[in-house]
Amino acid sequence: MSGREVLEAYRGRPIYSLIEKGYYRPWDPLRVSHIRGWDIHVKSGSWQVEGVLRMLFHVLDPEVAKDPANLIVYGGTGRAARGWEAFEAIVETLMEMSEDETLVVQSGKPVAVFKTRREAPRVVISNAVLVPKWADWEVFWDLERKGLTMFGQMTAGCWSYIGTQGILQGTYETFAFAAEQHFPEGSLEGRLVLTAGLGEMGGAQPLAVKMNGGVALVVEVDRRMIERRIRHGYLDTWTDSLDKALDMALTAKERREPISIGLLGNAAEVYNEILRQGVIPDVVTDQTPAHDPLSYVPLGLSVEEAEKLRVEDPERYKRMALESMREHVKAMVEFKRRGSVVFEYGNNIRKMAYEAGYRDAFEFPGFVQAYIRPMFEEGRGPFRYSSLTGNPKDIYRLDDEIIATFKDNRRLVRWVEKARQHVKFQGLPARVVWLGYGERARFGKIMNSLIRLGEIGPMWIGRDHLDSGSVASPYRETEGMLDGSDAIGDWPVLNALLNASAGATWVCFHHGGGVGIGYSLHAGFGLVLDGTKESEERAERVLTVDPGLGVVRHADAGYEKSKNIVCEKGIKTPMIKC
């Protein structure tokens, strides 16, 4: 069918108005563009519903999503909706529903709309959840093939992904913490960081290292991903020659010049080759999609060969991927033994290598245990917001507000200044700042009053599922908890229930994000601020209970800092005597 014929087929349907405005193009593989401006497209006339619609369109914009033609946003196969039919049904339901109804989404497919009440969430979402005994990739893929489920990663299926920036601050902070902990100068100046993977999350690494003053050498198997990162300003230069890359990296290290270098190659091979050449980087990590053996590209295969084998013989593909991960992790352990600071960056590669027979795979720690836990103890985590009207000025106005409000938090101020300078917006302009308990509610209220005063337009607030009280992931966020509660899955369930009770605009509960099916449970939310009194109250409640549960989760596990916050801030917990 020609574009015109497709257009005619949609005439009379609610989504037609979005097609007319060019936000949705069913004839184009890159179908979706983010929606800007003040026109409301939903019948209810409510920003609470329009905001959901806009974030769904935003995550699928080609500027934001990794593979928008297949509704894949990031992280291997993290999707926003089960398929295009489901996407259209979600969109049209949002356009037609009223402000006291709730849309129910089961793994990317809209299944019902119920009358609830205005203060309730407009959408509730569950993604990829399987009964524990069945919770592995084999069962998941089988059910996915039958069209019964969808992998939502952490924020893809929760319509809360803001492009690589979302992970940039976390990555920046992680490298900053590592530098403070391991190097006397407290920065990465004159240090070489070796890592891999320039995907949606991993693509933040080169810029984060550079922002910390270091030299980043990043191995990536897919040339298109390298070019994409250069285009987005996250990577400076690239080569397909290891000798050239090492020469550039070691010269820059010597001169203490921050630079990021992409190297086209397979990490399992390149890491071992660097070892053989006797080069020992100061820091080694990795962000290949090891959580999913069908996404990780095995040794010896080009990207095209991998794509073919993945379809023709997935069993052989997985075997090869696991064997490659074993070699990859062996090299990382060897780097550690020879003096590098080594950590896993949340992709479960140690477990995969262990499964493939490498018993020493857990010789290096995960990044949360090593560097992020102290922030989680304070309920501090990745607080995100975006301008729903698509106005970058609103974000810059809020940058000023953050700097003024939290001027004593030097790390945060430094981040906002650097982000303003380096971050290119993808889709709706957005910002991420790590705020703690008390700070999030305070800033949410400031934001709402600026909207009421007409200084900025309506905003979306959300966060990564990687947060203080919203995730159970024993090889990542909850690795090595003080009381051994790593695998306790109640907390993310409670988080979702609590955020729904507090009146988030939408609430999501997911399985398998970050580390893969069987290894994590996590929850997230979206909150639309429109300047009204009602949205101020929602913000106060949601932005208090959400990080509050994180503080309680850590206090319950015995972390002293969290217990002190519970007592100082008067969080009511029957189990702690202040």
Nearer to ligand NAD, 56 or 322 (CB): 322
Closest distance between ligand NAD and the C-beta of residue 164, in Å?
A: 8
Kindly tell me the sign of the dihedral angle through the C-alpha atoms of 155, 161, 163, 169.
negative
Nearer to ligand NAD, 438 or 514 (CB): 514
Asked if 329 is part of the footprint of ligand NAD (rule: CB under 6 A), the reply reads no
Considering CB under 6 A, how many residues would be counted as binding ligand NAD? 35
Stretch that binds ligand NAD, among 94-102, 216-224, 454-462, 553-561 (CB under 6 A): 216-224
Closest distance between ligand NAD and the C-beta of residue 479, in Å?
A: 13
Asked if 474 is part of the footprint of ligand NAD (rule: CB under 6 A), the reply reads no
Nearer to ligand NAD, 522 or 541 (CB): 522
Asked if 151 is part of the footprint of ligand NAD (rule: CB under 6 A), the reply reads no
Stretch that binds ligand NAD, among 34-42, 142-150, 194-202, 499-507 (CB under 6 A): 194-202
Among 50, 61, 173, 200, which residue sits at the site for ligand NAD (rule: CB under 6 A)?
Answer: 200
Q: What are phi and psi of 151, to 5 degrees?
A: -85, 120
Interacting positions 12-71 with ligand NAD (CB under 6 A): 66
Among 196, 395, 447, 551, which residue sits at the site for ligand NAD (rule: CB under 6 A)?
Answer: 196
Among 101, 144, 173, 220, which residue sits at the site for ligand NAD (rule: CB under 6 A)?
Answer: 220
238: β partners? 262
Rounded CA-CA distance 412/407 in Å is 8
Asked if 470 is part of the footprint of ligand NAD (rule: CB under 6 A), the reply reads no
Closest distance between ligand NAD and the C-beta of residue 372, in Å?
A: 9
Which residue's Cβ has the minimum distance to ligand NAD?
199
Among 197, 213, 366, 429, which residue sits at the site for ligand NAD (rule: CB under 6 A)?
Answer: 197
Would you say 388 and 41 are in contact if contact means Cβ atoms under 8 Å apart? no
Taking residue 117's Cβ as centre, other Cβ atoms within 10 Å add up to: 10
Asked if 266 is part of the footprint of ligand NAD (rule: CB under 6 A), the reply reads yes
Interacting positions 270-289 with ligand NAD (CB under 6 A): 287-289
Kindly tell me the sign of the dihedral angle through the C-alpha atoms of 399, 401, 404, 407.
negative
Q: Nearest-CA neighbor of 342 among 326, 351, 331?
A: 331
Stretch that binds ligand NAD, among 132-140, 144-152, 243-251, 295-303 (CB under 6 A): 295-303
Radius of gyration, CA atoms only, the chain: 23
Asked if 198 is part of the footprint of ligand NAD (rule: CB under 6 A), the reply reads yes
Closest distance between ligand NAD and the C-beta of residue 536, in Å?
A: 31
Q: What is the dihedral of CA 490, 493, 496, 497, to 10 degrees?
A: -90
Stretch that binds ligand NAD, among 190-198, 254-262, 276-284, 499-507 (CB under 6 A): 190-198
Asked if 327 is part of the footprint of ligand NAD (rule: CB under 6 A), the reply reads no
Stretch that binds ligand NAD, among 74-82, 97-105, 242-250, 568-576 (CB under 6 A): 74-82
In the stretch 75-114, what mask flags binding to ligand NAD with x, by CB under 6 A?
xx--------------------------------------
219: β partners? 196, 263
Nearer to ligand NAD, 167 or 571 (CB): 167
Would you say 508 and 530 are in contact if contact means Cβ atoms under 8 Å apart? no
Angle at 203 between CA 216 and CA 521, to 5 degrees: 120
Rounded CA-CA distance 449/63 in Å is 30
Asked if 528 is part of the footprint of ligand NAD (rule: CB under 6 A), the reply reads no
Nearer to ligand NAD, 73 or 416 (CB): 73
Q: Nearest-CA neighbor of 375 among 173, 165, 106?
A: 173
Q: How far is CA 532 from CA 122, 457, 528, 537, 539, in A?
A: 17, 12, 11, 9, 11
Rounded CA-CA distance 208/102 in Å is 39
Beta-strand relationship, 430-435 and 381-387: antiparallel
Asked if 264 is part of the footprint of ligand NAD (rule: CB under 6 A), the reply reads no
Q: Which long-range contacts (CB under 8 A, 24 or more apart) does 311-318 make?
A: 314/141, 317/293, 318/293, 318/294
Among 32, 124, 158, 297, which residue sits at the site for ligand NAD (rule: CB under 6 A)?
Answer: 297
Closest distance between ligand NAD and the C-beta of residue 205, in Å?
A: 9
Angle at 440 between CA 373 and CA 50, to 5 degrees: 120
Among 33, 295, 387, 562, which residue sits at the site for ligand NAD (rule: CB under 6 A)?
Answer: 295
Rounded CA-CA distance 251/129 in Å is 49
Residues 6+ apart with CB under 8 A from 508: 124, 125, 126, 127, 152, 157, 158, 160, 465, 496, 523, 524, 525
Q: Nearest-CA neighbor of 48 among 458, 462, 545?
A: 458
Rounded CA-CA distance 321/139 in Å is 19
Among 24, 57, 175, 296, which residue sits at the site for ligand NAD (rule: CB under 6 A)?
Answer: 296
* Binding footprint of ligand NAD on the chain (CB under 6 A): 66, 74-76, 154, 167, 170, 196-202, 219-222, 225, 266-268, 287-291, 295-297, 345-347, 466, 514
